[in-house]
Structure 1
Amino acid sequence: MPTSELPTTEQCKNCEKTFDASFDYCPYCGQETADNLTIGVLFSNTIDNYISIDARFFRSFGTLMIKPGVLARRFVDGKRLKYLHPAQFYLFISVIFFFIFSFTIRKADNEVSEAIKKGLEQEINLDSVRVNTDSLGIAEAQKALKKNQKIIGISDKDMAELDSVMVSDPQVANLSFGFKREKLDSLITAGAPLDQKIKAMGMKEDANAFTRRFYTQMLKFYEKQGGGILQALYDTIPVAMFLLLPFFAMFLKLFYWKPATFTHHLVFSFYFFTFIFTSFSIMLLVNKVWEIPIWLEVLICFSFAIYLMLALRNFYKSSWVGAFFKAGIISFLYMLIIVPVAAIGIIMVAFMLY
């Protein structure tokens, strides 16, 4: 009698279980049996899994831009295969925004760094000269800040207060590092240990870890002459913006306690911030070819509140009056409490990681 051919088996390289060699995929874990890990496969899988630029993107993008709150409502209601996941959509758009914004911030960083460098390079030998040189450095820094005021995000009111303080407060006007720069410069030139240099800057022997870190960062700032300080601030913003999302969802929860769970509020927040990032990305691109007037930029920013009102009405099925007042209160409280605290935190973290 003819003997039948024994079936051949293959071992999965992922889960290490055996299966019929004729299978194209492992029946246990789903990994492809062919080991064809090429560069094309590697990056195509990455794009497919995390970016997914397909019909879902364009369907989600159109709904997000022209139908406030509808995309979040449909996702919460279970229509999820037709649209991009809210976190995925947010990450994709935020990457595009910060990529475009990086070209703008780079120019501003160079100008601010150059202004700081000029102030620090002034030779200080006499107290009378100290006032003039330090004032010159401050003036250069103020000039650079005013030139890049929109990019950095300083309001006209804050800029006016900064100018008045610089003029009226003699301690600020005579701003200096408060230590003997000649001694520190000699230690830096001689390659002295870190402890000697930060002690020369005024750090006490019994300083705690935070104070020691602060003096270390001040030394780095002095040695680099302020170079890259704005870039360090920029690098901190994406993470901070992502962490601010739950706070926005918390405000929504306060005003819409019963209609939705906190997860639903997060979905709404992801899509709303995605809309904001998309709008700013378009504004940055338009600014490359045509400078948008200030009044139009203010009008566009004001339209975010209108978008929020429409989104609240469509997502939470709120009345027009309720959506109007809640959108205004949420925006006001968020800008009054969360954004200033976050800005201070971003500046501190950026400086400590500089």
Structure 2
Amino acid sequence: MPKELVTCKNCDNDYQQGFSFCPHCGQQTQDDLTLGVLFYNTISNYFSFDARFLKGFIPLMFKPGFLPKKFIEGKRLVYLHPGQMYLFVAFIFFFVFSFYVNNQTRDLDEQLKNASVVNTVKDSIPNKQQVIDSINLDKIKAPLLKNKEALGLKYEDIEALDSITKMELKSNNSAPNLAFNFNERKVDSLIAIGASDDAIYKAMGRPENPNFFTKKFFEQMLKFYREKGVGSIMQTFYDSLPIALFFMLPIFALLLKLFYYKRGRYAHHLVFSLYYFSFLFTAFMLIYLFNLLLDLPSWIGWLVALSTYFYFYLAAKRFYGNGWFLTWFKTSVVTFLYLMVVTPFALVILGFLSFMFY
């Protein structure tokens, strides 16, 4: 007599009654959602992920190139998937790094506010150089006034000479405008009297009919000038780093593909890059945490940064199988191109976007 068929609640496939697990998807046939079941599933899923991460952590840190090589060879369930590894480590890294960023932006904004107050006070007090120049001018004027008849000078001529000299000294002693190419005093005056933004934009030099880009740029420039928002821009910059690195990582894999074009598909190089960037995040996160606890000297940080290249070198040697010299040449060129071309270009773009949209 044929057994009765049962329909799986998960995959909707039929199977014979009597199975403890669905033969199609593996879900339990008697899976009543109790608090115990929910707790068990949560813990088991967590430790399944965590165990694979811990199993791959030692090879990731101390066996360069081992994990990507094993993954390409087919061992794809023993260790954590490279994409999962990257996302997990990156999340932890930027979570820890956010505390450093928040402290830095808060300190920077505080310093800017204090500097603004100090500069306001300084502007109202003549500096030492101006006092000295006034004393020297009086010493020069004294003999001229005493002998003006013999020299054929009138009192008005000496006063005119005095005014011209003072104007020249004031021009020479004035600080150059390093921040903005507009009349800051005029803009400050317009802001103080509550002038409209359009009037302020005009004083800043915005054209009459600006396009969208120009309009947005002047809006951000005025916002920055009012708020002294360096800290806000830096916060936006750091907040955008995870997204930027998400796009920069495939570029790193593309460079590897160009130099190792006969060593597998692009996906193989992407696997290598995911594991390598996971190592980078882990290494810098650990050195940051140790620095918080032990206040490590700065040379240790530089040593760790330098060691990341040697890790890359050894990982590429193991993964691609080239000779030592050829591996050194290729990894050196890839590192140079990435650090000197790709990274600066990405940082400039990221900095500009941070200013435009902070």
TM-score normalised over the length of structure 1: 0.72
The percent identity for this pair of structures is 39
Q: Tell me by how many angstroms 1:275 deviates.
A: 0.4
Quote the Cα distance in structure 1 between the aligned partners of 2:116 and 2:192: 15
Summarize deviations over 1:142-171 as a string: whole Å, max 9, x none: xxxxxxxxxxxxxxxxxxxxxxxxxxxx99
Show the counterpart of 1:70. 66
Instruction: Report the equivalent of 1:335.
Output: 339
State the alpha-carbon separation in 2 of the partners of residues 44 and 215 from structure 1.
54
The alignment status of 1:218 with 2:224, answered yes or no, reads: no
Residue in structure 2 matching 1:347, options 342, 345, 351: 351
After superposition, what is the alpha-carbon deviation per residue over 1:29-50, rounded to whole angstroms, capped at 9, x for unaligned?
Answer: 9989979598x9599769948x
Alignment match, 1:181:
187
**Secondary structure of the equivalent of 1:54?**
helix
Task: Output one character per residue of 1:145-200: Cα deviation in whole Å (capped at 9) or x when no partner.
Answer: xxxxxxxxxxxxxxxxxxxxxxxxx998433542423344246x57x5x5555445
1: CA distance between counterparts of 2:350 and 2:340? 16
**What is the correspondence of 1:195-274 to structure 2 with a 5 Å cutoff?**
195=198, 197-226=200-229, 227-274=231-278
Distance 1:175 1:62 in 2: 51
Tell me, what secondary structure is at the counterpart of 2:49?
coil
Native 8 Å contact 1:236 1:349 kept in 2: no
One-letter amino acid of the structure 2 residue matched with residue 217 of structure 1:
Q
* Partners of 1:313 and 1:323 within 8 A in 2: yes
Give 1:113 shift. 1.6
Q: Tell me, yes or no, if the aligned pair for 1:110 and 1:228 is still in contact at 8 Å.
A: no
Say whether the 8 Å CA contact 1:105–1:231 is kept in structure 2. yes
- 2:93–2:282 Cα contact (<8 Å) kept: yes
Higher helix share: 2
| Higher Cα radius of gyration | 2
Of 318-327 and 255-264, deviating more is 318-327
5+ residue gaps, structure 2: 130-172
Q: Counterparts in 2 of 1:241-320, with a 5 A limit?
A: 241-320=245-324
Amino acid at match of 2:222: L
Aligned residues: 302
Task: Give the 5 Å matches for 1:30-49.
Answer: 48=45
1:247 to partner: Cα distance = 1.0
**Is residue 61 of structure 1 aligned with residue 67 of structure 2?**
no
Distance in 1, Cα, partners of 2:222 & 2:177: 20
Deviation per CA, 1:245-278, whole angstroms, max 9, x where unpaired? 0111111111101011111000000100100000
Distance 1:317 1:224, change over 3 A: same
Q: Which one-letter code corresponds to 1:335 in the other structure?
A: L
Q: Report the AA paired with residue 187 of structure 2.
A: R
Alpha-carbon distance between aligned partners in 2 of 1:324 and 1:215, rounded to the nearest angstrom? 48
Please say which of residues 263-272 and 95-104 is displaced more in the overlay: 95-104
Q: Which runs of 5+ in 1 are unaligned?
A: 1-6, 133-169
List aligned pairs for 1:23-34, cutoff 5 A.
none
Q: Distance in 2 between matches of 1:37 and 1:171?
A: 77
1:10 & 1:108 partners in 2: Cα distance?
58
Q: Answer whether contact 1:25 1:31 (CA < 8 A) is retained.
A: yes
Helix, strand or coil at the partner of 1:336 = helix
Change (3 A) 1:181 1:62: same
Distance 1:241 1:82, change over 3 A: same
CA distance in 2 between counterparts of 1:196 and 1:29 reads 68
- Structure 1 partner of 2:150: none
Q: Which deviates more, 277-286 or 333-342?
A: 333-342
Larger deviation, residues 29-38 vs 315-324: 29-38
CA displacement 1:58-111 (0-9 Å, x = unmatched): 111111111101100111111100111111111111111111111112221122
CA distances 1:215-273 after superposition (whole Å, capped 9, x unpaired): 12122223333142221111011111111101111111111010111110000001001
**Following TM superposition, by how much is the alpha carbon of 1:311 offset from its aligned partner in structure 2, in angstroms?**
0.4
- Are 2:110 and 1:107 aligned? no
Question: Are 2:318 and 1:322 aligned?
Answer: no
Quote how far apart the aligned CAs of 1:26 are.
Answer: 9.2
Equivalence for 1:83: 79
Q: CA deviation at 1:345?
A: 1.2
Distance 1:202 1:262 in 2: 49
- Give distance in 1, aligned partners of 2:75 and 2:188: 68
* CA pair 92-129 structure 1, distance change in 2 beyond 3 A: farther
Distance, in Å, in 1 between the alignment partners of 2:265 and 2:49 is 30
Residue type at the aligned position of 1:72: P
Contact 2:8 2:14 in 1 (8 A): yes
Q: TM-score, normalised to structure 2's length?
A: 0.71
